[in-house]
Structure 1
């Protein structure tokens, strides 16, 4: 985190540290030489929460080891460490440098110490945030020694930035995210559309893409999310389109792009197309396309389905539009995205330039969310129910436990249509600040039509409605929403959900009979499967089966895949393929 003096970087860094939920250890490398500086140091110490621990040391690598695994280490600040390190080498800021060889030794010593520091970070489950000035933005240095300091400071910052998940510049208390340099023709994820993965830079100068997913259990330098998980980007408004280069590409990848020609589609979790009666009704509505869309009947029907008045409902151009609208309108101070889960909410928050943190579900707990794992500072929380891709269904009490004054809880209920009781959290008017996002595309086979709606408190729904473009939902989608949320569609919805549940139970039982696999209960039309070895999706492709990648979901890697519940014959083919894969792997 870079910034000039009094830019607000220390306060922002402190808020990130506190929001991490981890024990915070402050590394303060400073030598007190005058009363004013002593008072300054004491003010900083007094401003820190009492439960934070402080290490006053210049050995950054040893400080990380001393802090220990599971901590958040806040280095405050690089500048004092650098000045003292140079002076201990006989190089004094502002004075002439008497010996060029001493200059080289001093600079090489700084780089070596920083490499030891980043190596210590990589060896532990620890999050680290380094606060640094940016003297190159100020007045030009006056003497050879001062110029040396600026030069070495620049090299030190570049060395740390190359190892970090993200680099931030703070100006006037506002944050700008600094993007890595990406060669022409290469995506931000480090791949070329035509040539595949790009060769890594030399060791020691590795420029990791700022938002690239890191393996489970790895460490992060600069992040404030759980181990191995980069934070949601902090980014200013740039005027770029929401789908521009500011969004981490893996977050925008979905199952519809993962089915090669000729493969059996297990990646897209949408049931076969709409029933004939709905297709007929849509065909009839084509005759009225000369009129502008009027969403009043659709809003009233969707709201009444959950016992709400129309002003508590907003129809949307598919659930995904809702998440981008929420990010743009609500603009939280700190968002918490529960993962593994649908990645569009985080992508939307990143594109809007909003700070946030990832909260990871625990596979050992059946992926159930522990409400206490969400930072108290989060004023926006996003979770799925049922969750995609884990399939877990958190109790409504879990959502209720997240409710706080001043906090908005967004529940992605895109797969609630597959539940016995599809009312879901959308029907809970007693939960203040809770917005439920619904989709009608999955169970009814309408992904191409984009049909969804949001329900919640009228003040929040009104804010969303006031900021959206006019006529954003087309007439055919409105016809479908009105038809599918009416009471007459409920019997067929329940029958479709029951049929999926039966096939899902058979699939899960068959998968659990295959040795070497982890399989979790699910409440939608997909199942999460994990092998003990990486590359599970690629091995399924060898059998003509295209499963949904799991390594684009934060908290998962390529040992896992999400598979859609299909007909009995297709499910049996999947089980047989996985049995062959696991038997070969254990041979």
Structure 2
């Protein structure tokens, strides 16, 4: 596309500075839904440029459908044929979503008379100049602020054999190539599936948007499998992923009393330790065989062994979601264990948050999940607050075409786990992720499993690495599955310790403690970051919660220990609050 001299910018923005994501597709391909998912997942305020003519009755139904999908907070600007003027009205701090570049080009052609049976002499030149100016204005805007452009893939569809239609095809093709040359990433949507185009993709917009990748060779990292065929994993240096992958164990250091890691106890119970010694003698010299563990877990949950998939801890099951299920838009209910989101974003899946707030007691509202989400991930009890949702509240998340994944890492601490767990329910669209780590203090063995209907279970089994669960982890799963009395005994002891900690915290001024059933207390304190730092100076590690979506630096998660340890921690917390002015 040759730009007239009086309209040409001084120089095109270099590729590495672009914040443009280009989404291409044919008619009814799902490209609009993909563009909206990318914009929604960014977490940024969005301005949506709408090109469809609301007076066109044939378009009325489609416009209404698009409006229903968009969050009410989005700003919508209707554009005529002057795209450059519309762009000038959009604040740089907002993400710009341009949906229907071909529709706008058609509008320009129509208003210039280029689609008429007898077009005016200057119609083609006038339309080409207006389109060229708009496309370059769009490219210039993307050089300074996040921009998502949804456009028709030139040539995908039947066109009438007239000069105006051929001009439309030329202009769409030229516009797409101009924008693609300057885009951080380009995707082609085919049958609702986004396919990344080009080499060395990484997370775009500085990591602000999951499911968007672009091309910085310094940051790129390749992957053998991905939610999008041929995609690469996000770079390890991505600041957002680094933030998601910080957990309680990162708070620990030599000499600190551990109230940060959510493991009930400092070592496995004696009976489990004996089973581990036996397994080490009997199984270490052989490749892992998971059949006995699957049968034991199936008997526990009342399921078939084919519905049990052992994994390298619950975290591996969550990291397999993208490649096993290939979702288009994942809704993650937060605050929660962040590895599910980290895995989804790394594999290019757009992620949106459904935030449970302290103002509502971290209640779960299924209506807050976007209807377009085909995957919902929720922890129960919640990993940050310890809040337990009723089984019916979790089941309310189900929708046709959607898979619901329930991370039940803490469910054994519930007063009646079997009454709230979804593991015993034979549901075709629900995946339950479990772990033996928390209750029996074996985080180093990575003993996890998932429960799902056979078709879903096979999806996960097909993408697992071979021998995913090691022999000792399988021995743990087999032993825990048959140890109902030991499970209840450990849960009762953890509940007593939590109640002791909660009571002691209630005696401190300036500390708000939230109810829960997990082996920790979530508290809110003034100037939480400074309080946590002072606790470290006093010899105590707690979990800072600033990287949980929906929480902030004033929230701390404190794992309950025995009463003596709890008393020491609470005394140190009182001193830290006094020292920080709280």
1:118 aligns with 2:92: yes
Residue in structure 1 matching 2:458, options 455, 462, 475: 462
CA distance in 1, matches of 2:38, 2:59: 16
Aligned to 2:342: 347
1:72 aligns with 2:46: no
1:322–1:437 CA contact under 8 A, matched in 2: yes
Residue in structure 1 matching 2:296, options 280, 294, 301: 301
TM-score, normalised by the number of residues in structure 2: 0.71
Q: Cα RMSD between the aligned structures? A: 4.2
Q: Residue 252 of structure 1: CA displacement?
A: 1.4
* Structure 1 residues 27 and 351: alpha-carbon distance in aligned structure 2, compared to 1, 3 A threshold: closer
CA distance in 1, matches of 2:363, 2:432: 19
Could you tell me which runs of 5 or more consecutive residues in structure 2 were left unpaired when the two chains were aligned: 1-19, 103-127, 150-182, 211-225
My pick for the range that moved more, 269-278 or 382-391, is 269-278
CA distance in 2, matches of 1:345, 1:245: 18
Q: Residue 570 of structure 1: CA displacement?
A: 2.2
Aligned to 1:448: 444
CA distance in 2, matches of 1:180, 1:209: 15
Q: Residue 259 of structure 1: CA displacement?
A: 1.4
* Structure 1 residues 389 and 80: alpha-carbon distance in aligned structure 2, compared to 1, 3 A threshold: farther
Residue in structure 2 matching 1:419, options 407, 410, 414: 414
2:513–2:523 CA contact under 8 A, matched in 1: yes
1:546-561 pair list within 5 angstroms: 546-561=541-556
1:3–1:132 CA contact under 8 A, matched in 2: no
Residue in structure 1 matching 2:258, options 265, 271, 275: 265
CA distance in 2, matches of 1:264, 1:336: 36
Aligned to 1:363: 358
Residue in structure 1 matching 2:277, options 271, 278, 283: 283
Q: Residue 15 of structure 1: CA displacement?
A: 6.1
Aligned to 2:310: 315
2:92–2:145 CA contact under 8 A, matched in 1: yes
2:185–2:201 CA contact under 8 A, matched in 1: no
Residue in structure 1 matching 2:488, options 468, 489, 494: 494
1:168-247 pair list within 5 angstroms: 169-172=186-189, 174=194, 176=196, 209-211=206-208, 236-238=228-230, 240=232, 244=236
1:376-395 pair list within 5 angstroms: 376-395=371-390
Aligned to 2:214: none
Alpha-carbon deviations, 1:198-233, whole Å to 9, x = none? xxxxxxxxx9733399xxxxxxxxxxxxxxxxxxxx
Q: Residue 359 of structure 1: CA displacement?
A: 0.5
CA distance in 2, matches of 1:81, 1:179: 34
SS at match of 2:432: strand
Aligned to 2:516: 522
* Structure 1 residues 307 and 577: alpha-carbon distance in aligned structure 2, compared to 1, 3 A threshold: same
Q: Residue 387 of structure 1: CA displacement?
A: 0.9
2:48–2:96 CA contact under 8 A, matched in 1: no
CA distance in 2, matches of 1:493, 1:235: 37
SS at match of 1:382: strand
Aligned to 1:335: 330
1:400 aligns with 2:395: yes
Q: Residue 20 of structure 1: CA displacement?
A: 11
Q: Residue 404 of structure 1: CA displacement?
A: 2.5
SS at match of 1:160: coil
2:336–2:548 CA contact under 8 A, matched in 1: yes
CA distance in 1, matches of 2:72, 2:268: 49
SS at match of 1:438: strand
* Structure 1 residues 14 and 548: alpha-carbon distance in aligned structure 2, compared to 1, 3 A threshold: closer
Aligned to 1:83: 84
Q: Residue 163 of structure 1: CA displacement?
A: 13
Aligned to 1:48: 63
Aligned to 1:61: none
1:161 aligns with 2:146: yes
My pick for the range that moved more, 257-266 or 15-24, is 15-24
Q: Residue 519 of structure 1: CA displacement?
A: 1.0
1:511 aligns with 2:511: no
CA distance in 2, matches of 1:365, 1:433: 28
2:96–2:146 CA contact under 8 A, matched in 1: no
My pick for the range that moved more, 153-162 or 570-579, is 153-162
Aligned to 1:204: none
Alpha-carbon deviations, 1:156-211, whole Å to 9, x = none? 211113999x97644456365999999xxxxx9xxxxxxxxxxxxxxxxxx97333
Alpha-carbon deviations, 1:411-440, whole Å to 9, x = none? 111112222333342443254422211100
1:20–1:375 CA contact under 8 A, matched in 2: no
1:539–1:581 CA contact under 8 A, matched in 2: yes
* Structure 1 residues 151 and 390: alpha-carbon distance in aligned structure 2, compared to 1, 3 A threshold: same
2:21–2:147 CA contact under 8 A, matched in 1: no
Alpha-carbon deviations, 1:435-485, whole Å to 9, x = none? 211100111110001111111212211222233232221111111111111
* Structure 1 residues 365 and 325: alpha-carbon distance in aligned structure 2, compared to 1, 3 A threshold: same
CA distance in 2, matches of 1:171, 1:466: 26
Aligned to 1:197: none
1:483 aligns with 2:471: no
CA distance in 2, matches of 1:82, 1:155: 12
1:255 aligns with 2:251: no
Aligned to 1:222: none
Could you tell me which runs of 5 or more consecutive residues in structure 1 were left unpaired when the two chains were aligned: 31-36, 54-66, 87-109, 122-126, 135-142, 183-187, 189-206, 214-233
1:14-163 pair list within 5 angstroms: 14=36, 27-28=49-50, 46-49=61-64, 52=67, 71-74=73-76, 82-84=83-85, 110=88, 117-118=91-92, 129-130=97-98, 152-161=137-146
* Structure 1 residues 335 and 542: alpha-carbon distance in aligned structure 2, compared to 1, 3 A threshold: same
